[in-house]
């Protein structure tokens, strides 16, 4: 009979522990967070200890409109160079946009404007976008895109546009105000300061960039409004979302004038009108930010042109 040695319990325990270690250690190692794995709080940690995929600034960088109109109110000590530096534009762009001379002294309190890219340019009578594009070495499509012009063939004399080019390519010229031949002789319908000119602007109430079809003349409510030229009352209207109470006059050579934001109309459609005749009282009706007269000159009933090119 063979004698068998009893199995020592301590050796069995050691074997069991070794087997368990061989099974559990790989499992534990594979389940622990790695260098680029989720540690359980939903964030992905990068090798450097930061959070991968999350920038230091959580707010996205706002998109900058390259054709945004910047403005600056001149203060004592300002120079063209310091203003250009503050706005991040070229001195030449600032000069061209505001019809300034490079050596001209600045008047504190005045406001100057310039787009982020390019410069402001007022279209002269008879000028086309092709003419402007050729002068400043840009394309018609670039000008149309910068100004949201749907039809480059339909532009208005006196409109202020953005030219996305270098103002030093072509010499700057100033067009003197003069009444184009063949048009009626127009006079001012009221006496006051022009607070908003013809052309593209930021709407004072809506805040949108859009075309202003006339000029706004600052006068108190109830100021007498006179006909800018002889003619006939073409229409009267009330547009609460636009120029409010308005009178439309027809003149010779297919010209028309419009008088808006009135408080009282004193004529009727079909009435013959003499130049300088009282036709209404100014007001604050329609979409208005204060008492003033909105005044337009049109060539045909649907084609506004800059009144300042025709007024004395």
Domains for the chain: give ranges and CATH numbers: 69-163 (3.10.350.10), 193-309 (2.70.70.10)
CA distance 252 to 256: 8
Strand 224-226, strand 278-282: pairing = antiparallel
- Tokens (6 digits) for 163: 């030219």
In 51-181, DSSP assigns E strands to: 69-73, 111-115, 119-122, 160-163
- Whether the pLDDT of residue 65 is over 50: the answer is yes
Distance of CA 208 to the CA centre of its chain: 7
Predicted confidence band at 309 (pLDDT cuts at 50, 70, 90)?
confident
Give every CB contact of residue 248 below 8 A, 6+ residues apart in sequence. Answer: 233, 234, 235, 236, 237, 256, 257, 258, 301
At residue 134, the pLDDT reads 82
β partners of residue 73: 111
- Whether the pLDDT of residue 12 is over 70: the answer is no
pLDDT digits (tens, 9 = 90+) for 163-192: 998 887 544 333 333 445 556 899 999 999
- Whether the pLDDT of residue 107 is over 90: the answer is no
- Whether the pLDDT of residue 44 is over 60: the answer is no
At residue 204, the pLDDT reads 85
At residue 269, the pLDDT reads 94
Predicted confidence band at 228 (pLDDT cuts at 50, 70, 90)?
very high
Give every CB contact of residue 283 below 8 A, 6+ residues apart in sequence. Answer: 221, 222, 244, 245, 261, 262, 263, 264, 291
At residue 171, the pLDDT reads 41
Read off φ and ψ for residue 119, nearest 5 degrees.
Answer: -155, 165
With H, G, I as helix, E, B as strand and everything else as coil, classify residue 309: helix
Predicted confidence band at 153 (pLDDT cuts at 50, 70, 90)?
confident
Predicted confidence band at 7 (pLDDT cuts at 50, 70, 90)?
low
CA angle 228, 232, 234 (to 5 degrees): 100
CA distance 74 to 92: 17
- Whether the pLDDT of residue 198 is over 60: the answer is yes
pLDDT digits (tens, 9 = 90+) for 245-261: 999 999 998 899 999 99
pLDDT digits (tens, 9 = 90+) for 117-152: 999 988 877 778 888 888 888 999 999 999 988 888
At residue 300, the pLDDT reads 80
Helices (H), the chain: 9-31, 80-87, 91-97, 129-135, 140-147
DSSP string for residues in 19-53: HHHHHHHHHHHHHS--TTS--SSS-PBPTTSSBTT
The better pLDDT of the pair 4, 64 is held by 64
């Amino acid at each position: 009979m063979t004698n068998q040695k009893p199995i020592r319990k301590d050796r069995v325990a050691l074997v069991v522990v070794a087997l368990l270690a061989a099974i559990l250690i790989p499992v534990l190692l594979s389940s622990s967070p790695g260098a680029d794995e989720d540690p359980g709080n939903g964030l992905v940690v990068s090798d450097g200890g930061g959070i991968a995929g999350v920038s230091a600034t959580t707010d996205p960088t706002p998109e900058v409109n390259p054709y945004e109109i910047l403005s600056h109110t001149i203060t004592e000590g300002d120079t063209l160079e310091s203003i250009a530096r503050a706005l991040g534009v070229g001195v030449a762009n600032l000069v061209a946009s505001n019809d300034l001379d490079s050596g001209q002294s600045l008047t504190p309190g005045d406001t100057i404007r310039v787009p982020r890219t390019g410069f402001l340019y007022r279209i002269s009578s008879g000028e086309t976008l092709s003419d402007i594009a050729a002068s400043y070495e840009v394309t018609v499509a670039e000008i149309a895109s910068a100004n949201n012009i749907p039809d480059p063939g339909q532009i208005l004399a006196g409109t202020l546009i953005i030219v996305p080019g270098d103002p030093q390519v072509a010499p700057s010229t100033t067009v003197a105000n003069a009444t184009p031949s063949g048009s009626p002789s127009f006079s001012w319908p009221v006496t006051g300061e022009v607070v908003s000119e013809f052309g593209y602007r930021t709407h004072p109430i809506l805040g949108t960039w859009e075309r202003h079809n006339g000029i706004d003349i600052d006068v108190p409510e109830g100021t007498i409004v006179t006909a800018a030229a002889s003619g006939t009352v073409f229409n009267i209207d009330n547009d609460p979302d636009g120029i409010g109470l308005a009178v439309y006059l027809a003149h010779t050579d297919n010209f028309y004038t419009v008088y808006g934001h009135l408080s009282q109309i004193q004529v009727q459609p079909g009435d013959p009108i003499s130049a300088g005749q009282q036709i209404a009282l100014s007001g604050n009706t329609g979409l208005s930010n204060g008492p003033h007269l909105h005044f337009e000159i049109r060539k045909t009933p649907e084609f506004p042109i800059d009144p300042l090119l025709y007024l004395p």
